[in-house]
Amino acid sequence: GENVEQHPSTLSVQEGDSAVIKCTYSDSASNYFPWYKQELGKRPQLIIDIRSNVGEKKDQRIAVTLNKTAKHFSLHITETQPEDSAVYFCAASRQAGTALIFGKGTTLSVSS
């Protein structure tokens, strides 16, 4: 079945720096890749997603890139702020709306 590897497991940056989180997946049939942010004690919230027919997607300070050949995708956060501190999860699925296979998560700490 699908396996999603996520790196790094922890990431500490200074406010204003950029943060990059990388994920690789194993199932070449996966075609939907969302990213979730989970603050302590709260539910995971979808922050951005990308489908396999797109190489890059941006939403203000957040961007996601996808390399289908290498089977990896990345989350880029620019101009980080303390409120970006949270656990970020990548996920993959064969069909949007169905089973999501998650990476283990990255704890991002942004210090001011």
Q: Does 40 bind other proteins (CB under 8 A)?
A: no
Q: Does 21 bind other proteins (CB under 8 A)?
A: no
Q: Does 44 bind other proteins (CB under 8 A)?
A: yes
Quickly tell me which residue has 């210090």 as its tokens. Answer: 111
Q: Does 98 bind other proteins (CB under 8 A)?
A: yes
By CB under 8 A, how many residues form the interface with other proteins? 22
Q: Does 49 bind other proteins (CB under 8 A)?
A: yes
Q: Does 69 bind other proteins (CB under 8 A)?
A: no
Q: Does 58 bind other proteins (CB under 8 A)?
A: no
Contact residues: other proteins, CB under 8 A: 1, 32, 34, 36, 42-46, 49, 89, 91, 96-105
